[in-house]
Amino acid sequence: MPRKNSAIAALQKLEKDRAALDARQRELEVKAAQEIGQIILGSGLEKFSRKTLRKLAVSLGKMGEETALARLAPDQNTKPPTSPSQTK
């Protein structure tokens, strides 16, 4: 019988730990949203509608950081491609 009780106790502990992790995740999501909001404020993006801002964020997320930067600000974030005549 002790084996059954230890499995039940382990399951209860797991459920308690999972609830604590869920709460911690919610806290961190709020802090992350605040950090992102602080970055966006003053950048001009705060003028976008929520719907447009969400579409933009999803599209940028799908592109990935390097691709998005290369496409949006190629002169600031990437080296210009060298032509074959420059490599000789």
**Cα separation of 7 and 2, whole Å?**
9
Asked if residues 3 and 11 have their Cβ atoms less than 8 Å apart, the reply is no
Integer CA distances (angstroms), 42 to 30, 46, 48, 68, in order: 20, 7, 12, 20
Q: One digit per residue, pLDDT tens: the chain, 88 residues? A: 455 689 999 999 999 999 999 999 999 999 999 999 999 999 999 999 999 999 999 999 999 999 999 999 888 755 555 555 555 4
State residue 55's pLDDT score: 96
